[in-house]
Each structure stands twice: as C-alpha cells, then as structure tokens.
Amino acid sequence: MSPLSFDFSKLSSPESAWGPSSVVPESLGFNDVPYAPFSKSDKLGKTADWQQNKEDELKQQQQQQKNQNQKKRDQYHAYGASAAKLFGAEAEEEQFSLVDNNAAPVSQQTVLKGKKLLNQRQQGGKPINGASGSKPQNTRQPFNNNNNNNNNNNQGNRGGYNNYNNRYKKEEKVRDPSVKVGSDWTLVTEIENTKLTKLNLEVSSGSDVTSYGSVNGYVKKFESFKPEILKVLDRAIYNPTTSQDPVIKDLSSENKAKVFVTDSILAQLMCAARSSYSWDIIVTKKKNGSIFFDKRENTDRLEVDENTQNPPCDTPDSEINGATNLSLEATFINHNFIANSLDSQTTYEFTNSKNPFVSQSEISEPLLSKGYKYKKFELPSSDPDAERLEIIVRTEVDAIIKDQNKFVSINAFNQYNPTPVNDWKTKLNQSRGVIFAEELKKNNNKIAKWTARSILAGVDNMKIGFVSRATPKDNTKHVVVGTVTYTPADLSYQIGLSLGNGWGIVRSLVDIIEAETTDPEYKFVILKDPNAPKIAIYRVPLNTFSEE
C-alpha cells in the first residue's frame, strides 16, 4: 500500500482561529449572495429547480401572491428557488427607493376657509350644505292610486315582507336638540364630522397671562382600591361662563386677545367629532372686537355612556337612569370626588390667591378650592398673509402633589347599574385595565374633554376615580372603589386625541363666522345635531337668550 500524500502547506496557522479561511475564492460564483431561508411548506426539490419554464414561474408567482394576501407567509422573506431572481437587486441598493401606499399622517396646516362661503354667496353660487338657511324639500312622491293592477299586486306581495322587517327592525331613537332653533335663526352652514377630523393646526404651548385662586394638596387614600363611602361635603363651586368672568372682562377691555373662552367650552369644540348628544355654544362679538364663546346657564354638565351603542335616553324625571338624571348624578359625583380627594391642611396659592368670582363678604358656604390659569395661545393660519389669532383660555387646576410640586386634575367615572358580573366594588382591583378600556369606549367624548382640558391647563397628572352606586336603585349614595393615574400626554396618545386637530376646528369656526358678516356686533350659535354626525352654525338676533 503506497503512502498517501498530503500537502500540509495549505493548512491554517495554529495562531489563527479554527474554521474556513476568511478569504473567499473569486471562483466561487455565489460570492456576497445573502442566505434565503425556506418555508416549511416548500419542497426540497425546488431548491435545485433552476430550469423551470416561464409558465411554471408565473404560476408560482401567482401562488406566492395569494399566500401573501392570506398572510400565510412572512412578507419580508423570499422562499425557495423563486428568490434567485431577487438577488440581483442587492447590487442596486443605491438606486433603491421605498414606495409607501399608506396615507401620510396629517401634519400640514388644514382649516376650513370661511371666505369661500362668503364669496360663493356673493357670486350667486349654490350654497354648501344648506347655507341659504332654507329647509330641505321633501322629495318623496305620494302614493299613486291610479297604478295598474300589476303594480298593485306587486306592492301587496311585498307588504308581508316589509311588515316582517318592520316588526324586527330596531327602532331609531330621535333626540331633541339641546336648544330649540328659532324661526328667526339663519342657517349658515353644516359641517360633517368627517370634515372636522381632517383639520389640523399646530399651535405652540400657551403662555400664562395671570392666575387666581388656590388649590389644596392631593391625598392618595382612594388609590389603594379599597371601597370607601363618598362623603357629601357640599363645597360651593363658582363657574361663570366666559362673558361673565370678571378677569376676562378686564383682559378684553385691555385688548389682550381677540377670542376668549373657558377650557370646558374649548374642549367641547375640540372634541366635537366624538360627541353623540346635542350641545350648543353661543358666539358673540362685542363692539370692541372681542369674541366670546359662551355656554347657556346650567348646561355645563357631564354626560354618561354617551358613546355606547344604546346610550341612555331622555325619560320622565322619575327615572333615575334617564340621560338627564344620570348627567346630574355624574356632575354631583365629580364635584364631591374632588372635595374628598383634597387635604385642606395643604394649600398652594397662585399669583392672585383670592377667588376671582366671589368676594370674601359674599361667601356664605365653604368653597371648593380651585386654581384658575388664564393662558394665551396664538393660532396661525394656513394662509401666510393672514394674521395670527390670539385666544385667551381660562383653565382649571384641581390640586397639587406638594412633595413633587406637580399640578393635578381630578375626575371620576360613575357606575349606575352594577351587576354581579361587572360590579366595580368586587372586580376593579383585579380587572382595572379591562374596566378602564370599557369606559374608554362608552365615554370616549368625556375622557377626551378631560384630557384636552388637562393639556390646556398644563397639569402634570390626571387622577381618574371609579365611583359606583352603593345600591343600583339609589342614586344618592355612592362608593369610591379606586383611582388610576395617567399623564395627559400618555392618555391623549391612547385615545388618539390630537390637539392640533382641535385647534384646526376652532380656527375654522372663527374664520367661517367672521366671514359671514362685517357688522361690529353679532351673535351665532354652534349646534350639534342630535341625530346626525355634524354641527350647524346659525346666525341669530342679538337679543337671543337675553331673557335667560
């Protein structure tokens, strides 16, 4: 047997790492070719099938497209022999460009132009969405008794089917508007929610103009999720509308801004597309050029389960679960929950520590401590030549975490019909995430307004409580089950709230109203349609609501 000859000169040096040489021979044809993983459903024969004809390749591409549509494969990997044709793209990386079919997020300044409506009227064009103020005509044709027998027979044959459908058809609830439309009101325009959601106006954070009042320290006694009785503390709250605010009156007389509004009214406008119930806001311009957004007296209340598929209805006063009584109950709970969450021994005073709405001599009952920050915001226009719109907003602060020097807003959900399955008193501690998600669906508009007000006021934390009736049939006694904490930024992201969209809505409404008239004084009403996803703008006489 002849000895085997080995060439030991090509072996790697003992000093180098074990394994193949780091130098790839130029003769290797697949140099720099990335590895292509294979799906478990691929047959091994496909890996060597380099001679498939065009027909087979077309079928395979169609099958791959079908699999991708059915999401059966990872769309970011190529499998099998068909991946070979993709390798050539690696050498063209510098010329590669991404094609994204998804719509880009709205970032440009987008508002509705009121001047377009005015120009359209001046030019005799067709009004937009009933801008002429006339009611739509009924186009339904009356039934014709002179139809031939065949038509009558067909109508009779369909009658049983229609009666069957009507019997099981869900009855639509027709709601009344929040205010009766007067015969002397002129409809300016109607804006659908779909248009409102497309608006955007990026506005920088506001600057503090002045501040009033004082706030107490926040106590965490409800954050342990141990049910406690909600005490009725009867703390007085003064919440005048914008034009009745003495501080805003002074700022208006000094021409500190053009538009004045409270945070609750502004939040209602910003979240208009989320609302289901009807509401109304009065817009008044004074001789000095100041524009005030106001709410009618006793209309600034909390709604309950507004965004559910079957929201509470207006019922007789004796029904405690009617929409009106639930709203009063929720407002009562919210005020008392704030009062129960405060430490009266700890106080933080703002620049002007007195309550701006009542003098010390007029106080006949204990006040609920509140801080009021008057902030100015500058709203740009999509037109670079247009002037910036200055708005002063009265915002509210409920409490302060003294050791952290953080301002807090406090609000509460209320459960009015607890059952053994979803009773917060027994389920909240273990299922708070699920319960909170349910409230986000049922009260989306209310939560969005809380969040918008918190962002406008610049508070650091939002405290949201869960308050349930002690017994389902008694709406006067309640139990605080627990409290959760969010930052306004986190909660706004979770519910998809865009303050830029809200500012776009506000700027659009001002522009539309201002374009309607050149009179030094005017009055308009913004009304949420009770039975359709849209808002309407009416011009009304100056003496409207004067009796109220």
**Average pLDDT score, the chain:** 79
Instruction: Give the Å distances, CA to CA, from 203 to 108, 118, 321, 507.
Output: 12, 26, 40, 11
The model's confidence at residue 352, banded by pLDDT at 50, 70 and 90, is very high
Instruction: Give the closest residue to 107 by CA, choosing from 493, 391, 504.
Output: 504
Q: Contact 539/524 with Cβ under 8 angstroms?
A: yes
Q: Which two three-digit tokens encode residue 119? A: 């120009």
Instruction: Give the closest residue to 210 by CA, choosing from 368, 419, 394.
Output: 394
What pLDDT sits at residue 173? 66
| Tokens 């300016």, located at residue | 188
Q: Is 500 left (phi over 0), alpha (psi -120 to 50) or beta?
A: alpha
The model's confidence at residue 265, banded by pLDDT at 50, 70 and 90, is very high
Question: Would you give the DSSP letter of residue 330?
Answer: H
Q: Quick: pLDDT tens for 390-435.
A: 999 999 999 999 888 999 999 999 999 888 888 999 999 888 999 9
Other C-beta atoms within 10 Å of 345: how many? 8
Instruction: Give the closest residue to 380 by CA, choosing from 510, 247, 543, 195.
Output: 510
Instruction: Give the Å distances, CA to CA, from 27 to 23, 24, 33, 36.
Output: 12, 8, 14, 21
What pLDDT sits at residue 108? 75
Calculate mean pLDDT across residues 85-108. Answer: 43
What pLDDT sits at residue 387? 80
Q: Quick: pLDDT tens for 291-344.
A: 999 999 889 889 999 999 888 887 767 789 999 999 999 999 999 999 999 998
Calculate mean pLDDT across residues 138-145. Answer: 36
Calculate mean pLDDT across residues 17-30. Answer: 62
What pLDDT sits at residue 29? 58
Of 48-52, 78-82, 542-546, minimum mean pLDDT range: 78-82
- Alpha helix stretches (DSSP H) within 218-372: 246-253, 263-270, 323-340
AA identity, residue 437: A
**3-state class (DSSP) for residue 295:** coil
- Alpha helix stretches (DSSP H) within 169-317: 193-196, 246-253, 263-270
**3-state class (DSSP) for residue 71:** coil
Q: Quick: pLDDT tens for 203-224.
A: 988 999 999 999 999 999 999 9
CB neighbour list of residue 26: distance below 8 Å, 6 or more residues apart: none
Task: Name the more confident of 271 and 380.
Answer: 271
What pLDDT sits at residue 371? 96
Q: Quick: pLDDT tens for 103-114.
A: 444 457 788 876
pLDDT over 80 at 50, yes or no: no
